[in-house]
């Protein structure tokens, strides 16, 4: 039989349309291109990359101690992987190409199976070419419910993002390797969204109590958040409950990848309450809470701490092994030199190769780990930010505790914001075996040098 062009087209189409299915016992997680109304209604829909067709991707909501089983089915035009951010996960499931798995090629699939040990607010996102893939929309919420949930009327997940769209077409500007962004604050956008929508509205009643799970999914923007007409507490950071809830007064920062769980009461006398982003030139509404009547009864007084997660005891961290990680480079503090591919290159040479930053002198993930830890050992890491920009340093597979300026132990986190010129210390029990990334979560910084790793064995 002679194959003509028509046959070829048909068989290519057949191959393309062949249904890919999830493995037995696994639900599918389809990474695919879709259109989504990111910009206000007067604009066209934006072509985005999604998990299961929406931005954010499908909400994964499970109980503490459950096993998640998902087959990532890659229908994107690019290799990808999924990282389950903040989950103290088994190393092989951490989703880091080149360290814990191979990238999943276009058309291929990968089975993720893991237990979630801690309750709280987490998220998942692409971890291959993250600077592009997360910016295109590849992220979603991963919510782990407490066995005994706090008493609230509504539990709302609010995923914040910052998009850079062409102002005419509302399509994603695809200059991800723009040297100016990489060497400065990163890819800062021109439209802010909550759950993939510009200025969305949520229906509430006066005196209702809400749990707001805030997630910053943006590439580089550090939000400074405030509430209007809502009053309450921060009860958890990066998924982990605070020992004592922190009464909200004034704005609070949320760096890329960080989460904050709030419990707030609707106290406004007006028609709307809101979540606002505090900017240099005023406040900007991110989401509205439209008040439709009063809830029965007055709002409750006080709040209790969320039940603690089974985290290791830090104990006396003065005895911990001490390490220093120096954050170097970027605009205004240009690297003099740095190591790349086993050789020392000048800052100018590095810049030509798209590398602008370094961690302890390495402008890429080094061959040897920054830290080689025995399982269960205690470490103190001092992040020294010599650059002119803030950085959100994230450790995989572990949470750590901040060491406060007065030497006391602060909250548990998985991502710490280190301000320009600042030094911040953390205490870490390296109790999860495997190879783990340590990087800046400003994704352009990670792509252009701020990437390291540690080993626990
Ligand atoms: Cu959320 Cu290595 O990242
Ligand atoms: Cu950074």
pLDDT tens for residues 120-163? Answer: 999 999 999 999 999 999 999 999 999 999 999 999 999 999 99
**Predicted local distance difference test score (pLDDT) of residue 315:** 86
Q: Which residue has its alpha carbon closest to ligand 1 atom 3?
A: 85
Closest-lying ligand to the alpha carbon of 127? Answer: 1
Any atom of ligand 1 within 6 Å of the Cβ of 380: no
* Distance from Cα 354 to the centre of ligand 2, integer Å: 15
Is residue 9 predicted with pLDDT exceeding 50?
no
Any atom of ligand 1 within 6 Å of the Cβ of 259: no
**Predicted local distance difference test score (pLDDT) of residue 299:** 61
**Percentage above 90 pLDDT, the chain:** 92
Closest-lying ligand to the alpha carbon of 183? Answer: 2
Q: What is the mean pLDDT of residues 62-78?
A: 98
Residue 298's pLDDT band (cuts 50, 70, 90): low
Q: Return the closest-CA partner of residue 435 out of 92, 87, 86.
A: 92
CATH of domain 15-145: 2.60.40.420
DSSP label of 376: T
**Predicted local distance difference test score (pLDDT) of residue 318:** 85
* Distance from Cα 397 to the centre of ligand 1, integer Å: 10
Q: What is the mean pLDDT of residues 320-349?
A: 97
C-alpha distances out from residue 83 to 49, 71, 140, 261, 321, Å? 16, 13, 11, 21, 28
Residues 6+ apart with CB under 8 A from 83: 94, 95, 96, 124, 125, 126, 127, 396
Mean pLDDT of the chain: 95
Is residue 238 predicted with pLDDT exceeding 60?
yes
> In whole angstroms, what is the distance from residue 383 CA to residue 394 CA?
11
For 63, other C-beta atoms within 10 Å of its C-beta total 12
Residue 300's pLDDT band (cuts 50, 70, 90): confident
Residue 328's pLDDT band (cuts 50, 70, 90): very high
**Predicted local distance difference test score (pLDDT) of residue 19:** 59
Any atom of ligand 1 within 6 Å of the Cβ of 442: no
Is residue 3 predicted with pLDDT exceeding 60?
no
Any atom of ligand 1 within 6 Å of the Cβ of 365: no
DSSP label of 172: B
pLDDT tens for residues 159-168? Answer: 999 999 999 9
* Distance from Cα 440 to the centre of ligand 2, integer Å: 5
Q: What is the mean pLDDT of residues 308-313?
A: 96
> In whole angstroms, what is the distance from residue 60 CA to residue 50 CA?
14
Say how many residues make up the chain: 457
Q: What is the mean pLDDT of residues 430-434?
A: 98
**Predicted local distance difference test score (pLDDT) of residue 317:** 86
**Predicted local distance difference test score (pLDDT) of residue 11:** 46
In the numeric block, the tokens 């909250």 are attached to 411
pLDDT tens for residues 94-122? Answer: 999 999 999 999 999 999 999 999 999 99
| Residues 285/275, Cβ–Cβ less than 8 Å | yes
Relative to the CA of 96, which ligand 1 atom is closest? 2
Continuous H helices in 301-397: 347-352
CATH topology of domain 154-294: Immunoglobulin-like (2.60.40)
Is residue 425 predicted with pLDDT exceeding 60?
yes
pTM of structure: 0.95
| Residues 240/208, Cβ–Cβ less than 8 Å | no
Residue 12's pLDDT band (cuts 50, 70, 90): very low
Q: Return the closest-CA partner of residue 87 out of 122, 59, 61, 58.
A: 122
Q: What is the location of CATH 2.60.40.420 in the chain?
A: 15-145, 154-294, 317-456
Strand order in the sheet with 240-247: 191-194, 154-163, 209-216, 259-266, 230-237, 240-247
Residue 353, classed as helix, strand or coil, is coil
| Dihedral angle computed from the Cα positions of residues 381, 386, 387 and 390, in that order, rounded to the nearest 10 degrees | 40
**Predicted local distance difference test score (pLDDT) of residue 18:** 55
**Predicted local distance difference test score (pLDDT) of residue 263:** 98
pLDDT tens for residues 170-213? Answer: 999 999 999 999 999 999 999 999 999 999 999 999 999 999 99
Q: What is the mean pLDDT of residues 306-317?
A: 94
* CATH 2.60.40.420 holds for 317-456: yes
Strand order in the sheet with 223-228: 201-206, 282-294, 272-279, 223-228, 252-254
pLDDT tens for residues 15-68? Answer: 455 557 899 999 999 999 999 999 999 999 999 999 999 999 999 999 999 999
Any atom of ligand 1 within 6 Å of the Cβ of 393: no
* Distance from Cα 59 to the centre of ligand 2, integer Å: 28
Classify the C-alpha dihedral 413-416-422-426 as positive or negative.
positive
**Predicted local distance difference test score (pLDDT) of residue 224:** 98
> In whole angstroms, what is the distance from residue 127 CA to residue 94 CA?
9
* Distance from Cα 446 to the centre of ligand 2, integer Å: 7
> In whole angstroms, what is the distance from residue 430 CA to residue 433 CA?
8
* Distance from Cα 437 to the centre of ligand 1, integer Å: 8
Any atom of ligand 1 within 6 Å of the Cβ of 437: yes
| Residues 196/40, Cβ–Cβ less than 8 Å | no
Any atom of ligand 1 within 6 Å of the Cβ of 85: yes
* Distance from Cα 451 to the centre of ligand 2, integer Å: 10
Classify the C-alpha dihedral 445-447-448-454 as positive or negative.
positive
Classify the C-alpha dihedral 104-364-132-439 as positive or negative.
positive
Closest-lying ligand to the alpha carbon of 187? Answer: 2
């Amino acid at each position: 039989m002679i194959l003509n062009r028509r046959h070829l087209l048909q068989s290519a189409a057949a191959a393309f349309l062949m249904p890919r299915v999830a493995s037995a016992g696994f639900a599918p997680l389809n990474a695919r291109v879709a259109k989504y109304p990111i910009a206000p209604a007067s604009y066209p829909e934006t072509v985005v990359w999604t998990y299961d067709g929406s931005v954010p991707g499908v909400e994964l909501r499970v109980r503490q101690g459950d096993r998640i089983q998902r087959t990532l089915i890659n229908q994107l035009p690019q290799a990808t992987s999924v990282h389950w951010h903040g989950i103290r996960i088994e190393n092989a499931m951490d989703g880091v190409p080149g360290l814990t798995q191979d990238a999943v090629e276009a058309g291929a699939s990968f089975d993720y199976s893991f237990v979630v040990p801690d309750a709280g607010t987490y998220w998942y996102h692409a971890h291959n070419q993250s600077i592009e893939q997360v910016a295109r929309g590849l992220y979603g919420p991963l919510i782990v419910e407490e066995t005994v949930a706090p008493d609230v009327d509504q539990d709302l997940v609010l995923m914040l993002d910052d998009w850079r769209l062409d102002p005419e077409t509302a399509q994603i500007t695809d200059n991800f390797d723009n040297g100016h962004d990489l060497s400065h604050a990163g890819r800062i956008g021109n439209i802010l969204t909550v759950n993939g929508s510009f200025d969305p509205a949520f229906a509430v009643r006066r005196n209702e109590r809400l749990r707001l799970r805030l997630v910053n999914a943006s590439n580089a923007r550090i939000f400074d958040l405030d509430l209007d007409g809502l009053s309450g507490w921060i009860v958890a950071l990066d998924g982990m409950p605070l020992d004592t809830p922190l009464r909200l007064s004034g704005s609070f920062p949320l760096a890329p990848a960080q989460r904050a769980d709030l419990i707030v009461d609707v106290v406004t006398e007006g028609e709307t309450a809101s979540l606002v982003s505090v900017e240099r030139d005023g406040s900007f509404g991110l989401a509205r809470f439209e008040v439709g009547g009063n809830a029965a009864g007055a709002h409750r007084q006080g709040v209790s701490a969320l039940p603690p997660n089974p985290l290791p005891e830090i104990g006396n961290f003065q005895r911990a092994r001490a390490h220093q990680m120096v954050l170097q480079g970027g605009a205004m503090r240009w690297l003099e030199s740095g190591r790349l591919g086993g050789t020392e290159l000048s800052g100018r040479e590095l810049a030509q190769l798209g590398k602008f930053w370094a961690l302890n002198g390495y402008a890429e993930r080094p061959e040897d780990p920054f830290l080689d830890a025995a399982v269960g050992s205690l470490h103190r890491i001092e992040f020294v930010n010599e650059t002119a920009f803030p950085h959100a340093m994230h450790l995989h597979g572990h949470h750590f505790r901040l060491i406060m300026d007065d030497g006391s132990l602060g909250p548990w986190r998985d991502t710490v914001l280190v301000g320009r010129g600042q030094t911040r210390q953390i205490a870490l029990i390296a109790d999860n075996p495997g190879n783990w990334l340590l990087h800046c979560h400003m994704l352009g910084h990670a792509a252009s040098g701020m990437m390291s790793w540690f080993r626990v064995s």
